[in-house]
Chain A
C-alpha cells in the first residue's frame, strides 16, 4: 500500500534508512517541509500524520504504509492561504521564514488539540478543559524554534486565529 501525502499517493522508498522528512522533500517534489536540526529538537520538519503533528525527521518513511500526511503545501497556497498563514503575514510571525512551514503545521494541529480539550504542562487543572492563554500557546509551541526570535508575533498570530474561531 502507498503513503498518501496531501491527498496524492506515493510509493514508499526501497531504502529503509530514508526518513519521512527526506522522503517528502526528495522523493515527492514537496520542498516546503524544512530540515533544521534533523534530530527532533527544532520542529522545522513538523508535519501532520494521521491527524497529529510529528517530527518527520525522527521517523522512517517505510514505517508509514497506508498513512495520511499533510505538509505545508496541503494547508494552503499563495492564492488560498489558510487563516493561520494570513495571520502570520499580518503579524510578521517570521523573518527569514525557514521555521515557518513547521510553525504553521504545528499551530494548525495545536488548535485542533485545544478543540479536543487536550491539557498541556501549562494547564493549571488538567481535569478541566484548557483555555488558550499566551502561556498555553508558548508551552504548546515549545517544539518549534525560531532563531530570528519572532516568538511574540507568532503568539499574536495564533491568538488571533484562535480567538476568531471561538
Chain B
C-alpha cells in the first residue's frame, strides 16, 4: 500500500473542505477502498476518516425515512421499519456481500463503491476508468460480467452493487453536501453515470462533495422482490438482478417500479416498462413485450452476450412471481 496521511473529520463541513483537495479520499467502512489501496488501484495522498461524524441514524421524516450516510448496511437491513415498509431494500442488501462486510460497509460507501471489472482492479492492464486514455482491456478481453446497456466504446464496466438497485426502484433521493455547506438532492437514479468519454467519473459528485443521507419516499406497499442471479448462491456479485415493486389492483397492474443491477454502468431504470405495464392485466405476452423493450438496444461484446436472454428471462420470472401468474 502506498503511504498516505490520515486525518479525521468530525463535521461534514470539515470533511468536505479536506476532501476538496487533490488526492484526498473519504473513508467510512473502507471495505472497498482499502482493498483497492492494497492493489494500488487507489493511491490517495490523504484519507479523511468520516466515522466521528454523528450521522448513522435511521429516522422517520415527513413521508418517509432518512438514512444517515454512515449507517451500516446491516443497520439498514435489520431495521424493522425497512423490513416491513421497504422489504425490497432489506432483501437487496442481504443478497450482497457477507455479514462481516455488511457490518462494516456504510450506506454512503456502498453508493460510491467501484466496479469489479477485472481490468480496473489489475494495474498491469489497460483501463480507461482507472487510467484515462490507456484503453479498455475488457472490450477484447474477458468480459462475462460486463455491461450490455449504457456502456461506451471507452468502458463497459458495470456498477456491481445491490443496495442502490433497490433504492432506484424505490426512487430514493441522495442528499449531498459540498463546499461551504452547499446541499443538494439527487435521485438515486441520477447519481451514477454512464461512461461516455469520461469513464473515470462513476457518479455526479463534485470535488469535495459527500453523500450525507439517503431519503426513502413514503411506503408504497405492493409486492417487493429482489431477484439476483449469480455464479454461487451466496457471496457473489450479480450477473444480473431485478428489484421490483409491483401492485395489482382489481386484476390490473397499478404499480410496476423496476430497476436492474449489473447489466449497466448504473442501476438501470427504463420508464417505458412502467408505462407499458401499468393499467394492464398481468399476462405472459405483456411480460415478454416488457422484456423485449428492456433489451431493445442491448449489446454484448461476446463473453457477456448471454446477459441479454438472462435479464430478459429474469424480468419475466420476477413479474410472474410478483403478479402470481
Contact yes or no, B31 A52, CB < 8 A:
no
Contact yes or no, A55 B78, CB < 8 A:
no
Contact yes or no, B84 A113, CB < 8 A:
no
Contacts of A118 in B (CB 8 A): 74, 77-78
A-B contact count (CB 8 A): 95
- Tell me if B235 is interfacial: C-beta within 8 Å of chain A: yes
Residue from A49, A116, A139, A143 whose CB has the most chain B CB atoms within 10 Å: A143
Contact yes or no, B101 A55, CB < 8 A:
yes
Contacts of B94 in A (CB 8 A): 119-121, 123, 126
A107 CB to nearest chain B CB (Å)? 11
* Contact for B91 among A16, A49, A55, A126, CB less than 8 A: A126
- Tell me if A142 is interfacial: C-beta within 8 Å of chain B: yes
Contacts of B84 in A (CB 8 A): 127
* Contact for A43 among B4, B30, B49, B100, CB less than 8 A: B100
Contact yes or no, A63 B3, CB < 8 A:
no
- Closest B residue to A139 using CB positions: B234
Contacts of B242 in A (CB 8 A): none
- Tell me if A34 is interfacial: C-beta within 8 Å of chain B: no
In the complex, what distance in Å separates the CA atom of A143 from the CA atom of B234?
9
Given A119-B94, A126-B94, A127-B83, the answer on whether A63 and B100 have CB atoms closer than 8 Å is no
Residue from A38, A63, A110, A121 whose CB has the most chain B CB atoms within 10 Å: A121
- Tell me if A153 is interfacial: C-beta within 8 Å of chain B: no
Contact yes or no, B104 A46, CB < 8 A:
no
In the complex, what distance in Å separates the CA atom of A117 from the CA atom of B83?
12
- Tell me if B122 is interfacial: C-beta within 8 Å of chain A: no
Q: List residues 132-166 of chain A with CB under 8 A from any CB of chain B.
A: 138-140, 142-143
- Tell me if B313 is interfacial: C-beta within 8 Å of chain A: no
A29 CB to nearest chain B CB (Å)? 23
* Contact for A62 among B6, B77, B97, CB less than 8 A: B6
Binary flags per residue of B63-96, CB closer than 8 Å to A gives 1, else 0: 0000000000010011000011001001100110
Q: Which B residues fall within an 8 A CB radius of A? A: 1, 3-6, 27, 29-31, 34-35, 38, 47, 49, 51, 74, 77-78, 83-84, 87, 90-91, 94-95, 97-101, 103-104, 234-235
A sample of 24 inter-chain contacts (CB < 8 A) reads A17-B1, A43-B98, A49-B103, A53-B100, A54-B100, A55-B100, A55-B101, A55-B104, A59-B29, A59-B30, A59-B34, A62-B49, A63-B27, A63-B51, A113-B99, A116-B78, A120-B99, A121-B95, A127-B83, A127-B84, A142-B98, A142-B234, A143-B97, A143-B235
- Known contacts A53-B103, A119-B83, A127-B87; 10 further A-B pairs (Cβ under 8 A): A16-B6, A40-B101, A55-B104, A58-B101, A59-B29, A59-B30, A60-B27, A106-B99, A126-B90, A143-B235
